[in-house]
Amino acid sequence: MSLRVDCWLDGWAASALKRGDKLSEENKDPLNGKPWTISRKCRTYEEAFTEVQLIMNSGQKCQTKIRRRADNTFVVKTRSLEVPASKDEKRKRKSK
């Protein structure tokens, strides 16, 4: 019994298969999957935006985003742009 694969694929996935791309290919972005930390909780969007401006002007190397919660408060989230060395690079350094 064969199952038709194209019946459940959306347009992007179907075009990726036509191009020969793998659906389970790993993302090359080193920040993908890094956790976001809550920097501050604010009552208004303007307060949250001001907090983002302060973080950006302080010179910290980080990404910021503002998220609205169900109770109509806003949260400023940040994550560092510094990427730790991968395990493969550490192994190569030790072996030299």
Given this model, what pLDDT does residue 14 score?
Answer: 55
pLDDT tens profile 43-95:
999 999 999 999 999 988 889 999 999 999 999 999 988 776 666 666 666 65
pTM exceeds 0.85, yes or no: no
CA-atom Rg of the chain in angstroms: 21
pLDDT digits (tens, 9 = 90+) for 10-51: 555 555 555 555 545 555 776 777 889 999 999 999 999 999
| pLDDT score of 83 | 72
Give how far the C-alpha of residue 9 lies from the chain's centroid of Cα atoms, to the nearest Å: 24
Distance CA 1, CA 60 (A): 57
DSSP H helices, the chain, are 11-19, 45-57, 87-95
Residue whose token pair is 């990726």: 16
Provide the residue ranges of all domains of the chain, joining segments of one domain with +.
27-82
**DSSP assignment, residue 96?**
-
d(CA 76, CA 58): 15
